[in-house]
Amino acid sequence: MGRDVIIACDFDSKEQTLAFLDKLGDHKPYVKIGMELYYAEGPSIVKALKERGYKIFLDLKLHDIPNTVKKAMKVLSNLDVDMCNLHAAGTCKMMEAALEGLTREDGSRPLLIAVTQLTSTTQERMEADMLIDEPMEKVVSHYASNAKNSGLDGVVCSPLESGKVHEVCGEGFLTVTPGVRFADDDKGDQARVTTPAKAKELGSDYIVVGRSITAAADPKAAYERCIAEFVD
């Protein structure tokens, strides 16, 4: 599976989303539908984008008791998305239940990945707010190992941790990495960030890019710049 750029479509309506995607011309990128858009439009936004030929990462970050997550994943499996996720902090039992719920009767399923630590989380906040005193890289690697042992396909992490995750879990274990900005862009609310070129160097399999593309004066050119720096 080769590298790819996933565009975070962090909009609050179908109209805004389609208007943005129209600016990309003939490109049919991998797109991320997050909480804002999904909660605004519901499953219909997934159907609308699939009908237009887009691959979809449904980024809802499930985190609940195992049985609830299992049942929710069973519903999501019927949406025909390409990738979905949950929080690794929900424990191995929850991840195993999620995988069971996501897998269809014929054995097929979307890719399932686990969020390790959000890219807005710093070492200081992890220690003060979560009482986790281990180094960030060790925590992310441990969560990634739990995800792999639970049968998942990969994790969400910062590009800064991609190399360590691959070292611990193998090259075939996917790293999907938000917190990616062009060098001349504002970091926003992200803490652990890199450029697309640096993410490639560090071994990310997918980068998730939002405002650097969606807020660009020329989104098509920004997307092509991402592809050139990360994929080509």
Angstrom CA distances, 168 to 138, 147, 177, 206, stand at 10, 12, 17, 18
Query: Cα–Cα–Cα angle for 185, 187, 191, nearest 5°?
Result: 150
Separation of alpha carbons 84 and 105, rounded Å: 18
d(CA 204, CA 123): 21
| Cα–Cα distance, 223 to 215 (Å, whole number) | 11
Integer distance in angstroms from the first to the last C-alpha of the chain? 14
Residue 61 among the catalytic residues: yes
- Classify residue 106 by its DSSP letter: T
Find the catalytic residue in 14, 23, 50, 61.
Answer: 61
Q: Which residues are catalytic?
A: 61
